[in-house]
Amino acid sequence: MAERVVIALGGNAILQPNQEATYENQLENVRKCSEIIARIVKNGHRVIITHGNGPQVGNILRQNEEAKDVVPPFPLDVCSAESQGFIGYMMEQTLKNELRKLNLHHPVVSLLTQTEVDKDDPAFENPTKPIGVFFTEEEAKALAEEKNWVVMEDAGRGWRRAVASPMPKSILGSDIVKKLTDEQGIVIAAGGGGIPVVTNEDGTLSGIEAVIDKDRSAFRLAQEVEAEVFMVLTDVQNVYVNYGTPNQRALTDVTLKEANQYVKEGQFSAGSMGPKMEAAMKFAEQGGRAIICSLDQADLALEGKAGTHITKYGLPQALLA
């Protein structure tokens, strides 16, 4: 039986650092992603794709700021929906084109996806996620006063708005995603972690200004669609221990026990590999196979020939052969 695979694309897969954020550049980056994903589909896997949207939301927020005297700015959850829509459009179109080259005719659909969070999540009391454009300290503090924002200094680069990053409770529509993949459909969902919403006392939904960690949402999506494989694609071929030292070592086949030991040693930084390993370990804990690898090796990693694999007790013998 074909494995159901949730593929989480990092933000750099869509817009690389220091690359001009033109539509053409982003479309070509997405096309390259789709080329790899099409090969995975050709190998018989049922695929669900999710992606980052940090740079894209940042640029939409900048457009808001630059045009605020002409066009009323939109709230953050709406900006997230905007980014999810145009990235989904690019991905759906390029993936259909790449599948066609391989003479494959699977239906592809992009779903605008909401992610439920808890309105009482402690993250709302302590916003820590910097977003949007940079300001001087004076500008930032004036905006904080005017708009009731929380602002913070960001790694010596200037001051930015800070928002909450709550934990995802559920991916709304994940049941539909699962049904579509049962019918050989390829689904793009929960981009950027999903549009954050809360459930009100009367059962209605409302958007809320927050940013959900995309790796945590990708794990939740993989869990809810009952995926066999959860794959996080990043800009390195493996997870490393002792990173950046003479003792640096690439991890390949990692058991949950070993992964927990590495976490205790502080091997994975909170700003990069930490959230990816956290999500991968949670998935492995439930009996699935989690993979962290580079985009260009994704098809090889699914065969056990590349990347870092995190499982409860080690890779199956069939993949080690």
Q: Which residues are catalytic?
A: 11-12, 129, 214, 276
Token digits for 156?
A: 């010596």
Rounded CA separation 313/294 (Å): 23
Strands 229-234 and 289-294: what pairing? Answer: parallel
Q: What are phi and psi of 225, to 5 degrees?
A: -90, 5
Strand, helix or coil at 97? helix
First-to-final CA distance of the chain = 20
197: tokens are 């919403």
Closest CA to 277 of 260, 265, 294: 260
SS3 192: helix
3-state secondary structure of 115: strand
Q: Residue 86 forms beta bridges with which residues?
A: none
Distance CA 158, CA 156 (A): 6
Give the angle subtended at the CA of 140 by the CAs of 138 and 145, to the nearest 5°: 95
Contacts of 185 (CB under 8 A, 6+ apart): 106, 107, 108, 109
10 Å CB burial of residue 185 (0-12, 13-18, 19+) is middle
Structure tokens belonging to residue 273: 């590999």
Nearest to 77 by CA among 220, 217, 198, 221: 198
Helix 76-101 / helix 54-66 crossing angle, nearest 10 deg: 130
